[in-house]
Amino acid sequence: MKWFGFIAVFLCGSLFIYGTVEFPGWGDPLSPTSTHVSPYYIEKTMEDTSVPNIVTAVLADYRGYDTMFETAVIFSAGIACLFLLRQMKRKKTDFRLYRHTATGITFRIEKGGKLPPTAKEFERIDGLWTPYDLIIKTTGRFIIPFIQIFALYVIAHGHHSPGGGFQGGVILGASFVLFAISHDLRSALNRMSEKLTAFFYTLGVYIYAGTGALCILLGANFLDYSALATILFVDPVTARSHGILIVEIGVGIAVMAVMVILYYNLVSAGKFDEGL
């Protein structure tokens, strides 16, 4: 099987390499790709939308419809993961593990047992893996705010520099994931519960699709942000720029929440009790 696979792949690859013979050279400024559609974007973006980052402008305006479905893909991945893995009935484990914070001694409490009254000195820990590292926790606490600030900057500054809703959203989601890794899944769930996450990712796609629908209500085509000029009290070009910012924020929120929910589901295999 191995050799068969190798030979098949090798033949297929040689065929593909034969296919590159008539490709225009790499980086050729005269190739059809560089001369047919793309010059319009490069030369007109500033006039049409006043957004210097051409990629953002094309992503959220010229081909904004694709990006709406990109958000929908992420949304359906979130729901799909929830649908496949989430176990609705909570099955309680037979025992719980607690650690005495001062000494680091671990207690195992059998089913039906109760904590001693001085419960504040104990913290619950995972059954499978019991990390206790002050350095990781502190570092996590220290850098997470900076990561989040950076993520918000990336979302907001997507007009002028690389970045935008999607990248910022992923970084924002990663900060929550980092929190869940450096502490544990329960404390992450306390701060960002499942329902809150679900609320956020529907909110994100509502913002995107809602902006598009608003444009229809204002008498233009779907996602034609220039129609927003009448309610934002700006000229149509600036309205496009603002429209792009609004949908980027929507994308950011949706992506952040989906990354978090995907992580929660995968790491706890749908049980939402303990994780990495």
Partner 1 sequence: MIWQLDLIILTFVIFCGIGAITIKDLLGAAILFGAYSFMMSLLWAIMGAVDVSFTEASVGAGVSTVFFVSAVFRTTRRTKD
Partner 2 sequence: MVDLLTIIISKYNYWGYIVLMMIGLYAMIVKKNLVKKIIGMSIFQTAIIFFYVSIGMKKNATIPIISHGHDGGEHAVHAVDFINPLPHVLMLTAIVVSVATLGVALALAIKVYQQYNSLEEDEIDSQIKVK
Partner 3 sequence: MSQHFPAFIIVIPLIAAFFIFTAGWLKRTYCFYIAAVALAISLFSSFGLLLQVLQNKVVVYHFGGWSPPWGIAYRVDYLNGIVLVVSAAIAFLNLIATKKSVEKEFIERVGPFYALYVLFVTGTMGIVVTGDAFNLYVLLEIASLTGYALIGMGTEHAALASLNYVFMGTIGASFYLLGIGYLYIATGSLNMFDIASILPNIFQSNVVLFAFVICLTGLFIKMALFPMHTWLPNAYTYSPSPAISLIAPLTTKVMVYVMIRILLSVFTPSFSFKSMAVNTSFVWLAVIAIVVGSILALSQQSLKRMLSYVMIAEIGYMVGGFWLANRAGITGAILHIINDAAMTLCVFLVAGNILYRVPGDSFDNLKGLFRKMPFSMGAFVVGALSIIGVPPTCGFFSKWYLITGGIAAGHYGFVAALLFSSLVNVVLFFRIFEIGYFEPFGDLHISGSMDEEEKTFDDAPLGMLVPLMIVAAGLIALGIYTDTLVTKVIQFAIPGGIS
Tell me how far apart the alpha carbons of residues 193 and 190 are, in angstroms, rounded to a whole number.
Answer: 6
**Terminus-to-terminus CA distance in the chain, angstroms?**
37
Side chain identity at 207, as an amino acid letter?
A: I
CA 72, CA 205: separation in Å to the nearest integer? 7
Site for partner 2 in 38-67 (CB under 8 A): 38-39, 41-43, 45-46, 52-55, 58-59, 63, 66-67
Residues 146-185 contacting partner 2, CB under 8 A: 160-162, 166
Does residue 221 touch partner 3 according to CB under 8 A? yes
d(Cα 32, Cα 23) in Å, to the nearest integer? Answer: 10
Among 48, 49, 81, 176, binds partner 2 (CB under 8 A): 81
Q: How far apart are CA 100 and CA 240, in angstroms?
A: 57
Tokens standing for residue 158: 């997507």
User: Stretches 4-12, 108-116, 187-195, 258-266: which one binds partner 1 (CB under 8 A)?
Assistant: 258-266
Lookup result for tokens 């979130």: 78
Q: Which residue in 179, 201, 208, 263 binds partner 1 (CB under 8 A)?
A: 263
When the beta carbons of 38 and 130 are compared against partner 3, the nearer one is 38
The two tokens of residue 11 are: 């033949």
Strand order in the sheet with 122-125: 106-109, 96-100, 122-125
187 binds partner 1 (CB under 8 A): no
Q: Which residues bind partner 2 (CB under 8 A)?
A: 1-2, 5-6, 8-10, 12-13, 16-17, 20, 23, 25-29, 33-34, 37-39, 41-43, 45-46, 52-55, 58-59, 63, 66-67, 69-70, 73-74, 76-78, 80-81, 84-85, 160-162, 166, 255, 262, 265-266, 269-270
